[in-house]
Amino acid sequence: MSIPKFKNEPYIDWSKTANRKKQEQAIAKLESQFGKEYPNIIGGEKVYSSAKFNSLNPSDPNQVVGVFQKGTADDALKALDIALKKFEEWRWVPPVKRAQYLFKAAKIMRKRRFEINATMILEVGKTWPEADGDTAEAIDFLEFYAREMLRYANAKTAVQLPGEKDELEYIPIGVGLVVPPWNFPMAILAGMTTAAAVTGNTVVLKPSSDSPLIGYKFMEVMQEAGIPAGVINFVAGPGSAVGDTLVKHPKVRFVSFTGSKEVGIHIYQEAAKVQPGQIWLKRVVAEMGGKDAIIVDSEANLEEAAAGVIVAAYGFQGQKCSACSRAIVDEKVYDKFVQMLKPKAESITVGPSKILSNFMGPVVNKGSMEKIQQYIEIGQKEGGRLIAGGNRAPGDGYFLRPTIIADVEPTATIAQEEIFGPVLAVIKAKNFDHALEIANGTEFGLTGAVYSKNKKKIERARKEFHCGNLYLNRKCTGAMVGAHPFGGFNMSGTDSKAGGQDYLLLFMQAKSIATKIK
Ligand code: NAP
Ligand code: MG
């Protein structure tokens, strides 16, 4: 069987009427299913709980996108039990066969692309291009990790000793808990889950309570691809019940988490405690938040820099771990640059994400909107100058205008804490040295970008800008599977490098086998 070289999945062309029509139809179809109830899926069985929760449309929170099971600690334990039993079979399924399920799932996602896009448009408020980018990335993860598994299955030792056959096998580690965030609700969920499964592990998947329907659609895709029941078990419900129960359980071998710093630290600490009967040290992959900066040097192409900052700050309402939340600008071009940003931010269209012409949709939920509004106040109280936005946009949804706060001190709250919304802090730097110092002056280290035409400065940034994903003369969002392995330094997490060639190692252990040849 020959497998074509990995290529990133192309995006849908929205200038084509036929594509727009298909997307509109998929949105209408999902709207006609609003209010439907969805089960948890444990060992391939549909499981219902007595308590339920609603997933709402943030563009119009009166709309219930779906009703979900509020999984309990008991449901989590039941899923773990099934996953433990299934592991004893799945671990022996040859890697080539495991990879086939991912290739098949990628095909199904292509076929169901508009439906999956619609789910993200209506459940978390992604605009059409953002939703489609997410689906394309999910397809990329499936295609990439399937190939990676085949590569690891052919691993060789560096040396063959005379008189023996020296081999290296990458084998699975056990049963894991997978906890993804809502902001890349298909791509990150699919990537985290299938990386763990293709390497021979079985998992309990707990989707974010803000995006359970997208998680459910992923389960449908995997079931359609024929992955055996019990390899991936889907338990929606509160992180505090489902998550905590499994993080602490002695039979859980690993936890793969992507989300906020606070929850990541909590999981890391709890998983580190060795429980009675536990015979391993748990592995924790924890990918967390960012306070990502774009440095605008005095020698930058300011038009390009302003365009890059705007897209990176406001794409998906600033709710990307890679979003630009700080623009650090050399004082020589500072006033001019702020004046360039203002009309760009003010011309951004904000409204329901199902309308293609809106560049920004709503933020994900009410709590999030209120938290962002508080940060906008704090930013001004601490001396920031409001340049654009700062208020809600009209409509029933959680719409916030793109907000710029200038003259922010490098140590101010909004220059240090992740806001996760459409709020940009603009910070003045004395020179390039100072800009680098400010950029590195938070506890995070996820993405960063520098705009400068000066080669020496770019060279310095390459060495001194301490972040997991550095971009030079381009924006800091939009990491592509294969090209930009993704993960951050310091409190941004364990630098797992999702979409890179090291990622699958996190879910395997290497066994060296030496056979004496007579
Ligand atoms: P979050 O609030 O930390 O939630 C993430 C997941 O953790 C959710 O599924 C949540 O479930 C679950 N959870 C909550 N408490 C838990 C517990 N005690 N034990 C186990 N699981 C628990 O983060 P989010 O709001 O979904 O996502 C936004 C954050 O993710 C931002 O900080 C962003 O920077 C970060 N992020 C990082 C990356 C990266 O690659 N570094 C990528 C994307 C996002 P419930 O929904 O039920 O609470
Ligand atoms: Mg929602």
Task: Give the domains, in start order, of the chain with CATH numbers.
Answer: 34-288+496-513 (3.40.605.10), 292-480 (3.40.309.10)
Distance 33 CA to ligand 2 centre (A): 15
Confidence of residue 518 (pLDDT cuts 50, 70, 90): confident
Structure confidence at residue 21 (pLDDT) = 98
Q: Is 58 in the pocket of ligand 1 (CB under 6 A)?
A: no
Interatomic CA distance for residues 64 and 41, integer angstroms:
21
Average pLDDT score over residue span 107-132: 98
The gap from C-alpha 372 to its chain's centroid, in whole angstroms, comes to 20
Q: Is 259 in the pocket of ligand 1 (CB under 6 A)?
A: yes
Residue range 77-86: mean pLDDT, rounded: 98
% of the chain residues with pLDDT over 70: 100
- In 58-117, the DSSP E strands lie at 60-69
Ligand 1 pocket, residue 330 CB under 6 Å: no
- In terms of C-beta density within 10 A (0-12 exposed, 13-18 middle, 19 or more buried), how is residue 156 classed? exposed
CA nearest ligand 1 atom 26, residue: 181
Report whether pLDDT(477) > 90. Answer: yes
What pLDDT does 2 receive? 85
pLDDT tens digits, one per residue of 187-246: 999 999 999 999 999 999 999 999 999 999 999 999 999 999 999 999 999 998 999 999
Name the 3-class secondary structure at 204: strand
In this predicted structure, the answer to whether residue 109 has a pLDDT above a threshold of 70 is yes
Measure the CA–CA gap between 234 and 228, rounded to whole angstroms: 13
The pLDDT assigned to 327 comes to 99
Give dist(CA 410, CA 407) in Å, integer: 9
pLDDT at residue 370 tops 70:
yes
CA of 23 relative to ligand 2 center, distance in Å: 19
Query: Would the CB of 467 count as within 6 Å of ligand 1?
Result: no
pLDDT at 439: 98
287-305 mean pLDDT: 98
Residue 1 is predicted with a pLDDT of 65
- Which residues keep their CB under 5 angstroms from ion ligand 2? 55-56, 123, 210
Dist. CA 145 → ligand 1 center (Å): 23
Q: Using the predicted structure, report yes or no on whether residue 388 has a pLDDT greater than 90.
A: yes
* Residue 187 near residue 106 (C-beta atoms within 8 A): no
Segment 321-328 mean pLDDT: 98
Query: Of the bound ligands, which one is closest to the alpha carbon of residue 189?
Result: 1
How much is the average pLDDT of 38-57?
Answer: 98
Q: What is the chain's length?
A: 518
Q: Quick one: what percent of the chain has pLDDT higher than 90? A: 99
Mean pLDDT score, 88-106: 98
Residues 332 and 277: their CA atoms lie apart, in Å, by 63
Nearest CA to ligand 1 atom 15: 239
Cα 58 to middle of ligand 2, angstroms: 6
Please give the pLDDT value at position 133.
Answer: 98
Q: If you average pLDDT over residues 334-357, what whole number do you get?
A: 98
Tell me the whole-structure pTM to 2 decimals.
0.98
Ligand nearest to the CA of 503: 1
Atom of ligand 1 nearest to the CA of 182: 26
- For residue 54, pLDDT beyond 90: yes
Q: Which ligand sits closest to the CA of 58?
A: 2
- Cα distances (Å, whole numbers) of residue 270 to 124, 145, 438: 29, 29, 33
For residues 357-363, give the mean pLDDT.
98
Atom of ligand 1 at shortest range from CA of 237: 47
Contact 306, 344 (CB under 8 A): yes
Whether 238 is in the pocket of ligand 1, judged by its Cβ within 6 Å, is yes
Tokens 């691809």, residue?
Answer: 225
Active site residues: 287, 321
Distance 260 CA to ligand 1 centre (A): 5
Look up residue 216 and give its two tokens: 């459910």
How far away, in angstroms, is 321 Cα from ligand 2 center? 18
Pocket of ligand 1, candidates 260, 416, 486: which has the most ligand atoms within 8 Å of its Cβ, to mutate? 260
